[in-house]
Amino acid sequence: DVQLVESGGGLVQPGGSRKLSCAASGFTFSSFGMHWVRQAPEKGLEWVAYISSGSSTIYYADTVKGRFTISRDNPKNTLFLQMTSLRSEDTAMYYCASGNFDYWGQGTTLTVSS
């Protein structure tokens, strides 16, 4: 079965940094692009970033461009999101999702607060 398991969330102070991970299993991770999507409390879904299978193509939402970096380690079947200069409005559940959004992880919660 396909599994995507996010980790790395927690409480971070404004201006701080955090790195999220998404461990993939049950499919050929290296063959698929991957996304990060977030959802602020009681809000809708916001697409955050995309990385192609070989990392050659990367896109970001304007709200995170210049602050967040998406990357992947194909041999380790892991997707990452490095977040810097965090703001209160980055508080959300962060999901990783497969390239066609067929599969989603359970999410990891990031809270940015002093």
Partner 1 sequence: DIVLTQSPATLSVTPGDSVSLSCRASQSISNNLHWYQQKSHESPRLLIKYASQSISGIPSRFSGSGSGTDFTLSINSVETEDFGMYFCQQSNSWPHTFGAGTKLELK
Number of Cβ within 10 Å of residue 45's Cβ equals 13
- At closest approach, how far in Å is the CB of 65 from partner 1? 10
Interacting residues of 113 by C-beta distance below 8 A, sequence separation 6+: 11, 13, 14, 88, 91
Residue among 15 and 45 whose Cβ is closer to partner 1: 45
Provide the greatest CA pair distance for the chain: 40
- At closest approach, how far in Å is the CB of 114 from partner 1? 27
Residue among 23 and 61 whose Cβ is closer to partner 1: 61
By CB under 8 A, name the binding residues for partner 1: 35, 37, 44-47, 50, 59, 61-62, 95, 100-102, 104-107
Q: What's the helix, strand, coil split of the chain in %, to 5?
A: 10, 50, 40
Residue among 32 and 104 whose Cβ is closer to partner 1: 104
